[in-house]
Amino acid sequence: MKDVSNAQAQRAAPLKTPTRLTEEATPDIAAALTTLLANVFALYLKTRNFHWHMSGPCLRDYHLLLDDQSEQIFATTDRIAVRARKIGGTTLHSPVRSQSCSAFSIAMRTS
């Protein structure tokens, strides 16, 4: 029983990562990273959308280019999210939160 309560306490405790950031600066930087994460994720979705809907005589070249670019963009999202968590911030946990934090407009189509 002691192990269970210890595990629960560790899960609820904030991350203790050594940093030179002041306690006052950390929430602002974490919020900026969350906004950046939302923007990069929106760019990833838009790039994938172009990748999926590409047509024309240069289809193969553009398809490969956008595929490579979207993979690089997606890899960046992980680095940003990890950095935000390391300084005690939160990450995007839902599409609604992602859209509300992003500077981009992501049109939701129902048809």
pLDDT of the chain along its 111 residues, tens only?
A: 566 666 666 665 565 666 777 778 888 998 999 999 999 999 999 999 988 888 889 889 999 999 999 999 999 999 999 999 888 888 887 777 777 778 776 665 544
Provide the pLDDT for residue 13. 59
Residue 59 lies in a domain: yes
Task: Give every CB contact of residue 97 below 8 A, 6+ residues apart in sequence.
Answer: 38
Provide the pLDDT for residue 88. 83
**Which pTM value belongs to this model?**
0.71
Cα 90 from chain centroid?
Answer: 10
Provide the pLDDT for residue 65. 94
Residue 91 lies in a domain: yes
Residue 48 lies in a domain: yes
Residue 41 lies in a domain: yes
| Number of domains the chain is built from | 1
Residue 58 lies in a domain: yes
- The answer to whether 77 and 34 are in contact (CB under 8 A) is no
